[in-house]
Amino acid sequence: MMDHLVHTKLFIPPIRPTLVPRLRIIQKLNAGLAGKLTLICAPAGFGKTTLISDWLQQSDLPVAWLSLDPGDNDPMRFFQYVIAALQMIDPTLGQSVQEMLQSPQPPSLESLLPTLINDIAARSSKLGLVLDDYHIIETQSIHDAFTFLLDHLPSQVHIFVTSRADPPLPLSRLRARGQMTEVRAGELRFTPSEATTFLNEVAELNLSQENVAALSERTEGWATGLQLAALSMQGTPDVSAFIATFTGDDDYIVDYLLEEVLDQQPEKTRAFLLQTSILDRMTGTLCDAVTGGDDGQTMLEALRQANLFVVSLDHKRRWYRYHHLFADLLRTRLHQEMPDQVPLIYQQASAWCETSELVEEAVHYALMADDFTLAATLIAQHIEATTWQGKYNMTLSWLDALPEAMVRAHPRLSLTRAWLLFGFFNDSEAAIEPWLQNVERLLSVEGAVSTSKPALLAEDINGQRFEIDGVEAQKILTNVDILRANLARRRGDAAQAIALSQQALEHAPADLKTRVEILYLLAAIYDSIGTMGAASQTYAESITLNHTADNDYITLLITAHLIEVLWVQGQLHQAQGRFQGLTQIQTLRQGPAAGMAYIGMGEVRREWNDLAGAVTDLQTGIDLCRPFETWAVVTLKGLISLAWIKQAQGDTEGVVALLQEMEALAVGKPMPYPTARLAAAQAHLWLAMDNVPSASYWAKSNGLRIDDELSYLVERDYLVFARLLIVQSKPDEALVLLERLLQEAEAGERGARVIEIRILQALAHQAKGERSQAVATLEAAIALAEPEGFVRIFIDEGAAMVQLLNHAASQGIAPIYIAKLLAASDGEEEVPTVPLAPTIATDRAATPNFIEPLTEPLTKRELQTLRLLATELSPTEIASEMVVSVSTVRSYTKYIYSKLGVHSRVEAIHRARELGLL
Amino acid sequence: MQNVGQSRRLTLSQPATYTITVQGILKEKSANMFDGLASTTNATLGTTSFTGPVADQAALHGLLTLIRDLGLPLCSVIWIEDHSS
């Protein structure tokens, strides 16, 4: 969510009441709506923006408008503004994307786009998006994202782009397919008759045909040129003389005319124009701050009335800006005439912006003033938020704009530099560590870390000292620990990473986001080394903590990981519970994190032999993850699980097809997925299909031995190897390996793996002819597996297991459970007695025993209200908690009752619990 | 005909000298926007030429963008090779 949205960027510029009609172009624009893109491409001052605004006035297409500025070269900021613009038409657009943007590591553009596109596609009515001044954008990833958007543009969307130069988009392709309409300088030029209309009717100059023609020719029909000429002539007594001089030579017309116009202004106005020219956008009090006057608002109004190139930026007549060309030239003159004043003007602008909480602009003006101390202080205050929002380009450009000595002198800035080196550039520890040590050195000044008083830092820069308060210092030091923990993790030193994370947790301030971040990191480290007890506990802790922070996307992300961990722990019912808790988060049915959760649930269903349900969940999850290369590990897990379902159903062709698909996914891409794990998964499937030679080849080419070093990472590989050994009639070797694996799995509390190992031990004993040993071991496995309903873990082992199960049953061991297992091996599939989670697939009603879901889901705010209704709080207290009015709470409550089909608070809570909403 | 001495290859990061010619006569005030470049005008053709060093290719593109934004048609951009050895 944007902290301060510059609303003027989203405002559709109003047109002047007096305008020369450009009928033929308007008609062209209308016709162009059938395509994808309308490109209006011409140099400055040709009236591009005016044209679109004019067209919009006459159209009833809802349009989102975004005026671009240099700050939009940061991809995250660019997209936040695109979403904000879209939300001006429809507040529900892009909400899921906004949530994703709030996660600790905001996803890449490629993750966001499909979700955004789906959101827009879900809307049935047409809409337009205007990107004004696209030539400002230079960032390649934004161009790439825009190209992606154009390639996948929903048919109800039309995009308009104005630019001074042809944008680096696939224009020729769009042209060739007739999907683009272009309006270029040639068409935007005023024809002689349009020039006549403008000069004589609009500007009321009453010129002769000859004079109009001369001006038209001299300006080449350029709108701004004609406007400047008109202004000059309006302030001149001798129009003919003016025209004669003007058309008599080749002087750069803007230069010439601007001089004329400026000369005609009273001194006060002239000074005002020059001083305010540095402002990207202006309002009365800001102008006053910069000029030292007190009539800024009046001046702006007067300029607008006089058509002196001032453009309105909102409906309230508060904000304005100059035409770009005009501003550029004024600025030049300012630098020439009053060079000493320039830094001061910028400083005053910066101060005003800071007071008005316009951070980015305040920083910009401070840097323009070359006042690095001021800029550094401002940047330090806001850089945490900027980085958290994923605006790395912006953060980087801020740091790069400061002298390095300044960055070194300030702990917050040094820390940010270190984080960027890690997260953005993936730099070496040798490069990062000095910055961290610098931070610690700066903060080791006595008293720096006490929360009770602010501390002064010893570093002097330009005779300035940076003050830093205790709470901020503590935050910074915590972040140093977190970064070092990440570095340890990256280098593979889990023990150190855990120690540092725990240290960070101890020192962490009460700030919720930071605590959630640390817990998530800690849990992920435990997860990666297979210490599942600690992992699930820590994930769960971070989720609970995050509830208070109310960020659904993070809940989704962490829960998806937790579901996986619970599976490995063998806690299948808990995994399902967690999944069901997720499905009520309405806006989050999209995106790879949701996909991961679906795949996790699919695995559980498969284990319970609910194959139909598993296929649905797995397929949903795979489709959600597939477009994202960085989530390929997860996609592969889903495909592997699907392959096992095919295997269970005897669909050998299906298995082979999926194996090929997995290989295609892994090959040729810069993936983090270790292809070794994929190879092991394949070998496992081969064994199930009795293809021993291939599996054998795999083991040999990887040089697997029973005394190899074991770790969680390679656990699955060695379990496959153990199976191979049994099939190759080497059960003793298998048993040695399995005993070692068992110790590791038990230490890591990996319940599901323990069951698997026990099963394999039983099979090994059986292969040795040690029947009673085999049955005893199997009994141990059953004891662990039965409470959680494990099925496939037995059955997937094939005929040998079936034989052993029969034998165990005949000895009176767990007869009912074994009967169920044997039925499964006969091809019986489970019909879910627990409700299926509602999926994106629409045929939910076909599933038996299904609790009727809400026909209209609760909105996020309604859900929040519902949670509070379940407490003892009164409506007034709820209103206060949610920072809304009591009548708003009553409205939400009304909607909630209506959607739940209830009439009272008690009923609502009851029904909500039934549905798993609470 | 071969040039005397070796011809140099232009790179992205080295300074270079250019002459840029635009359509339009720019007087001193506007010509000053082209920092560090000497300007001459040609009344017959109605053009202004700027000659001088640029720090590197990025600086050159900055100038071209400025020219674009001032609405000056671009007549030519010529790299002036320095043949001193």
Evaluate if residue B5 carries a pLDDT over 60.
Answer: no
Cα–Cα dist A695/A682, whole Å: 8
Query: What confidence tens digit (pLDDT) does each residue in A232-246 have?
Result: 888 788 888 888 888
More confident residue, B44 or A590: B44
The DSSP string of B3-17 is PSSPPPPP-SSS-EE
Structure tokens at A147: 């190209």
Radius of gyration of chain A, Cα coordinates, nearest whole angstrom: 34
Supply the pLDDT for residue A313. Answer: 87
Supply the pLDDT for residue B17. Answer: 94
Residue A750: helix, strand or coil by DSSP?
A: coil
More confident residue, A648 or A585: A648
Query: What confidence tens digit (pLDDT) does each residue in A436-457 have?
Result: 999 988 887 654 454 444 455 5
Supply the pLDDT for residue A841. Answer: 35
Cα–Cα dist A300/A312, whole Å: 10
CB-based contacts of B38: which residues, under 8 Å, 6+ apart? B50, B51, B52
DSSP A838: P
Q: A413-422, A437-446, B75-84 — which is least confidently predicted?
A: A437-446
Q: If interface means Cβ-Cβ distance under 8 Å, which residues of chain B face chain A?
A: 23-27, 29-30, 32-33, 43, 46-48, 68-72
Distance (Å) from the alpha carbon of A44 to chain B's nearest alpha carbon: 6
Cα–Cα dist A626/A148, whole Å: 16
Structure tokens at A705: 């031995």
Question: Contact, A236 vs A246, CB < 8 A?
Answer: no
With an 8 Å Cβ cutoff, are B24 and A259 in contact?
no
Supply the pLDDT for residue A598. Answer: 93
Convert A701-730 into a string of H (helix), E (strand) and C (coil): HCCCCCCCCCCHHHHHHHHHHHHHHHHCCC
Evaluate if residue A423 carries a pLDDT over 90.
Answer: no
In DSSP terms, B21 is beta-bridged to: B49, B76
With an 8 Å Cβ cutoff, are B69 and A45 in contact?
no
Cβ atoms < 10 Å from Cβ of A618:
27
In DSSP terms, A129 is beta-bridged to: A64, A159
With an 8 Å Cβ cutoff, are B25 and A250 in contact?
yes
With an 8 Å Cβ cutoff, are B24 and A251 in contact?
yes
Distance (Å) from the alpha carbon of B15 to chain A's nearest alpha carbon: 22
Cα–Cα dist A874/B7, whole Å: 85
| Cα A484–Cα A485–Cα A491 angle in degrees, nearest 5 | 90
| Cα A847–Cα A850–Cα A856 angle in degrees, nearest 5 | 105
Evaluate if residue A740 carries a pLDDT over 90.
Answer: yes
Amino acid at site A738: L
Point out the residue among B25, B32, B69 whose CB comes nearest to the CB of A252: B25
Cα–Cα dist A768/A694, whole Å: 24
* Residue among A312, A365, A330, A323 at smallest CA distance from A222: A323
Question: Contact, A182 vs A39, CB < 8 A?
Answer: yes
Residue A808: helix, strand or coil by DSSP?
A: helix
Query: What confidence tens digit (pLDDT) does each residue in A583-600 have?
Result: 766 545 667 888 999 999
Structure tokens at A644: 């096992």
Evaluate if residue A399 carries a pLDDT over 90.
Answer: yes
Cα–Cα dist B75/A895, whole Å: 67
Cβ atoms < 10 Å from Cβ of A189:
20
For chain B, helix, strand, coil in percent to 5 are 20, 35, 45
| Cα A513–Cα A519–Cα A520 angle in degrees, nearest 5 | 85
Distance (Å) from the alpha carbon of B2 to chain A's nearest alpha carbon: 39
Cα–Cα dist A618/A622, whole Å: 6
In this structure, what are the phi and psi dihedrals at residue A369, rounded to the nearest 5 degrees?
-80, -5
Point out the residue among A222, A255, A324 whose CB comes nearest to the CB of B30: A255
Which residues in chain B are contacts of A166 at CB distance < 8 A? none
Structure tokens at A103: 């996660």
Question: Contact, A197 vs A166, CB < 8 A?
Answer: no
Supply the pLDDT for residue A855. Answer: 56
Supply the pLDDT for residue A852. Answer: 46
With an 8 Å Cβ cutoff, are A251 and B27 in contact?
yes
Distance (Å) from the alpha carbon of A271 to chain B's nearest alpha carbon: 17
Cα A610 from chain centroid (whole Å): 34
Cα–Cα dist B61/A315, whole Å: 38
Evaluate if residue A813 carries a pLDDT over 70.
Answer: yes
Query: What confidence tens digit (pLDDT) does each residue in A462-515 have?
Result: 555 677 777 788 888 899 999 999 999 988 899 999 999 999 998 787 778 888
Which residues in chain B are contacts of A44 at CB distance < 8 A? 68-71
In DSSP terms, B18 is beta-bridged to: B52, B79
Distance (Å) from the alpha carbon of A42 to chain B's nearest alpha carbon: 9
Structure tokens at A75: 């991809």
DSSP A201: I
Evaluate if residue A645 carries a pLDDT over 90.
Answer: yes
Residue of B nearest to A224 (CA): B71
With an 8 Å Cβ cutoff, are A332 and B33 in contact?
yes
* Residue among A389, A361, A487, A297 at smallest CA distance from A98: A389
In this structure, what are the phi and psi dihedrals at residue B42, rounded to the nearest 5 degrees?
-125, 105
With an 8 Å Cβ cutoff, are A255 and B29 in contact?
yes
Mutate to test the interface with B, among A138, A217, A255, A263 (most CBs of B within 10 A): A255
Distance (Å) from the alpha carbon of B23 to chain A's nearest alpha carbon: 8
Cα A726 from chain centroid (whole Å): 48
Point out the residue among B23, B26, B29 whose CB comes nearest to the CB of A333: B29
Q: Chains A, B: CB contacts under 8 A, how many?
A: 57
Cα–Cα dist A332/B32, whole Å: 8
With an 8 Å Cβ cutoff, are B24 and A253 in contact?
yes
Point out the residue among A251, A259, A325 whose CB comes nearest to the CB of B71: A325
Supply the pLDDT for residue B6. Answer: 53
Cα–Cα dist A295/A448, whole Å: 46
Point out the residue among A165, A252, A324 whose CB comes nearest to the CB of B30: A252
Supply the pLDDT for residue A586. Answer: 52
Supply the pLDDT for residue A2. Answer: 42
Which residues in chain B are contacts of A325 at CB distance < 8 A? 69-71
Question: Contact, A758 vs A784, CB < 8 A?
Answer: yes
Supply the pLDDT for residue A862. Answer: 79
With an 8 Å Cβ cutoff, are A252 and B48 in contact?
yes
Supply the pLDDT for residue A837. Answer: 47
Mutate to test the interface with A, among B23, B64, B69, B74 (most CBs of A within 10 A): B69
Question: Contact, A822 vs A791, CB < 8 A?
Answer: no
Which residues in chain A are contacts of B71 at CB distance < 8 A? 43-45, 222, 224, 254, 325
Distances (CA, A) of A535 to A525, A527, A716: 8, 5, 19
Which residues in chain B are contacts of A332 at CB distance < 8 A? 29-30, 32-33
Distances (CA, A) of A467 to A249, A362, A400, A452: 60, 20, 22, 14
Query: What confidence tens digit (pLDDT) does each residue in A334-382 have?
Result: 988 889 999 999 999 999 999 998 888 999 999 999 999 889 989 988 8
Q: Is the dihedral of CA A258, A264, A269, A274 positive or negative?
A: positive
